[in-house]
Structure formats: structure tokens, C-alpha cells
Chains A and B, each alone.
Chain A
Amino acid sequence: MAAASFLFKNKVSDISAFDSLVSAFCCLPGVGAKTAQRMALHLIERDRQGASVLSEALQNALKKIGKCKLCRNLSEGEHCEICVDPRRDKSLICVVENPADVFAIEQSGTYRGLYFVLMGYLSPLDGIGPDEIGLGDFKNRIIEEEIKEVILATNPTVEGEATAFYITKLVGLQGIQISRIAHGVPIGGELEYVDSNTLAHALSGRRLITK
């Protein structure tokens, strides 16, 4: 709030409740003073019902949503729906960086295993080490559960690769199969528009279709 109030050299209005609503909106990424004011005006002037739905939903979400104890993904209970779903393949675990990555993989509809969400990646320059991304918990989970394969789906960036390598070293000793998602040309893409690093990966990771 202090940072937000710094944005307003002059008060927006004489109504302090309105001012505090505007500065509260500034906590959203990409929302500055002007956008926040527009949002606040819209809710107060035109859509009071929407505003009360929004405030209830926010309160509710804050109260109920925590982290799943098994996969660290966002969850309403102690364990998330994916972790307790009996139809899921419990021998497969996919490591991703963010909850958004879980949504993306779930939308693809092809994966039926479990997840582990790191909530970040190894980035020594930002002070994020193995403990900050829960690799200790991950190791315990690998040892305790009967997992046959770990799929590393961290982003294909240098930090993502470093994270994948670190996990490989961590898991490698347990005799579990480890795989890395493929990197290459997107579906519907054109080679001309693909950067050369990706193309190099696509070529080096090519697949035989005839023997």
C-alpha cells in the first residue's frame, strides 16, 4: 500500500475510501494509477453488484486456497484434486515451474499422472536455491511413493535446464526413469519464424519414422 500511495502525489478525490480502493488495485501487475482509477470508477458507478461478487470471491479464495501438501500446487484442501484422484497414474510425476504450467498441461488433456510444482526455478542470481523450490520435499516424495518415471517439464531456458539437471542428479541415484519434454517447432508454426536455437534443438532431437 505504501508503494501504491507513493504513486499519487495528489489525492485522486476527497473520498478516502475511493482513494484506498484505487491504491489497492495498484497491487495487480501491469495496473498503474490511471488504470486503477478506471477500474474503481467502473465498479462503484456502473457495476456495484459485480463489485460485491468480486469482493466476496476474493475473500473466499483467500480463505480457502492454500498449497497442496503433496504437489505444492494451489489447492482448496490439504491435498489437491489431482493428487487424490484415484484415476490418476500414481507412478508418473511431472515437474513444472508454476501452477499456470499445470493448467496448460491439463488443458492438453494427454497427461494422466501426478505433478510437482516448484513455484519457480533455480536462479542463483535471484537467491533462489534448491530449498526455495522445495526440492527437499520432492526427494522425500520420490523415496516414499512408488514412482516409476519423473517427467521434467521445466521451461527450456538456461535456468529451466539447470533446474532439470539438478533434479536429474537428485533423482538419478534412486533408480527411477527420468525424461525431459521435447523442444521443437510449434504445431502450425513456420520454420522461417522459428529462432535458430529452437531449430537446432528440433534437429538434434529429431525422431526416426522409418527404420
Chain B
Amino acid sequence: MRIALQPAFLLHRKPYRDSSRIYDFFTLEHGVISVIAKSVWRKEKGGSLANLIQPFTPLLISFVGRASLKTLSKVELADNHKNFSGERVFCALYLNELLLKLVGRNIPHPELFGYYSKSLDALKSASSVEEPLRSFELFLLAELGYEIDLETDSTGTPINECANYLYEPTHGFTKIQSEIVNEGGRYLGRDILAMAKGEFNGVSAALKRLLRVTLSYHLGEKELQSRSLFPSK
């Protein structure tokens, strides 16, 4: 199988032997794939492969192979490198870690690919990183079939603005009588409805909590390491 000029982003790389590397790419039509590249330090016009293949750079990659590990044949730059300043690079690495740990190999997710690219741009330019991060997490869960139902509770009744709810990743929202909200798995009905409308401003802490619980449920035993880079949070 020979694939030419496939739009791709680098997620992760590991050295292999002296001058080879194994790259994990997120591609438009083939999803997350592993590709081996040989002689990555060989000088070529426009820089060696190792120079060229950097995370957050839109690439066009050509590769061959039927097995799960493909062989890289050619790489071109599709656009300029997205330079992240300061802390935002940690956020962008977090997106990569989510993709690597949650998305199955060799399954195409073209819409997620587009959303990832847009999210990187948003992370670069947005005034706060919260919104692009949360929307990416929601989109990722929906794309993988684990969408959080923000409109109805576990019995199928629409979420009531004035009621309080308990959230469990396996069941979704369940109406509760308790007055204690906004801690543990408890959420306000009106916060949930705001999340459903995409109004993240007032509810960012609650949404972060909700997504953290859901993501860690789906990640199982795998832990997200990128979070260790944010000591203050």
C-alpha cells in the first residue's frame, strides 16, 4: 500500500537504532499511525527529516507498507510550524497525549483531524486556553462515541435548570435532592445547560471537573503525564 502526500501532524517520536526514528502521526485519512523513518539526519534540501518532522507542524507525508508499522518515504511541509509561546506548548502537548492514549490506531477520524488543527490555532491565538482545551475534549469524546449527554438525564428527561444532578461516567446525570452542589460529582442544572450551549465562561471549573472524571474513566489505568507540567494547578 502506497499513500502519497497525506496531511499529518506528529504526535510522538522515539529513537530507533542509530539514525532511525519511529514516529506516531495523526493523519487525515488513516487516523493515528506508526511510521518508521530511516536516516533521519541525512542532509537534504530544505533540512533533514529530523529537522522537518516536528510536533504541531502541518506536514504532508508519503508512506508505504501493509503492516501496522509503515515506512516513511517522503515528507513535505504543508504550512509553517505553529510556534507556541510559554505555557501553551504544554497545553498542545496535552492534546497530543490525549490523542495517543484515547484514539485507536489505524482508524480514520477526518473530522477530529480538522478539529485538532483548528484547536492548535485556537490555542495559539485565544486569550484563554480553557475554551479551546475544553471544546477539544468534548469533541474528542463525541468523536470516539463517548459523548457526554448534556441535554437529558439518565432517565431520558431533559435537564431541569433548577435541579441538581449527580454525574457518573457510566450513567450520565441523575437528578438528586441534595443541596450540596459543585463538588464531587454534583452539578447544577443550569451549569449543565450552559455547557450544552457551548457557553463555557461561567462554568469552566465545573466543566473541567466533569471532563476530568470522564476522561480518566475512559483512559482506565493510563495516566495523563502532561498535567504534571502544571504545578500550580
Interface of A toward B, CB cutoff 8 Å: 29-30, 122, 124-127, 129-130, 157-158, 161-162, 165-166, 192-198, 200
Contacts and interface: CB of A to CB of B under 8 A. Distances in A.
Contact of A30 (B17, B43, B94): B17
A2 to B, nearest CB: 20
B104 interface: no
Contacts of A200: 80-81
Interface residues of B, number: 35
A197 B100 CA distance: 25
B225 A165 contact: no
B45 interface: yes
A130 B46 CA distance: 34
Contacts of A125: 11-12, 93, 96-97, 100, 225-226
Contacts, number: 73
B89 A197 contact: no
A161 B46 CA distance: 22
A22 B228 CA distance: 42
B77 A196 contact: yes
Interface stretch (B30-38, B49-57, B167-175, B183-191): B49-57
Contacts of B97: 124-125
B229 A166 contact: yes
A116 B57 CA distance: 30
A195 B225 contact: no
A198 B48 CA distance: 12
B90 interface: yes
B52 A195 contact: yes
Given A157-B54, A165-B87, A196-B80, 17 more contacts: A29-B17, A29-B18, A124-B224, A124-B229, A125-B11, A125-B97, A125-B100, A129-B225, A158-B55, A158-B93, A161-B89, A165-B89, A192-B45, A195-B47, A195-B52, A196-B46, A197-B57
